[in-house]
Amino acid sequence: MADPLDTVFSALADPTRRAILTMLLEDDMAVTDVAEPFEMSLAAISKHLTILTRAGLIQQEKRGRVKWCKLDPDAMRGASVWMQGFGQFEPVNMDAFERFLAAELSEGDPL
């Protein structure tokens, strides 16, 4: 069984998954809406969503015939506590984290 911290950092290592988390900061989204800005198949997006779900970073639920995704920012708490142990990191401020992700995504590859 993988360490939950390893699972979270592994999930955050991928730029597509970080972009998905940024999108979900705004509101819950249907899987098809999550997939829309990416140039990849729905199956590939579903794999990314599965990894984020296993890491506890998002929750997925079926509403009628539509599968929805919701951000669960509490899953990052363990990573934040671990980084604080080094004494050089401040507690994770979710608003600052959102700004950081937005800046990283705007400088990186287009969605």
- Dist. CA 53–CA 94, nearest whole Å: 19
| CATH classification of the domain holding 13 | 1.10.10.10
Q: What is the mean pLDDT of each run of 10 residues along the chain (111 residues)?
A: 84 94 93 95 96 95 94 85 72 74 70 49
Parent domain of 17: 4-106
Tokens for 33, please give them. Answer: 């809406």
- pTM attached to this predicted model: 0.74
Q: How far is CA 64 from CA 4, 24, 30, 42, 58, in A?
A: 31, 20, 11, 19, 19
- The answer as to whether 45 is a domain residue is yes
Q: How many domains does the chain have?
A: 1
Within a domain: residue 111?
A: no
Q: Give the contacts of 67 (CB within 8 A, at least 6 positions apart).
A: 30, 31, 60, 61
The predicted structure's pLDDT at residue 44 = 96
- Residue 1's pLDDT is 54
* Distance separating alpha carbons of residues 99 and 97, to the nearest angstrom: 5
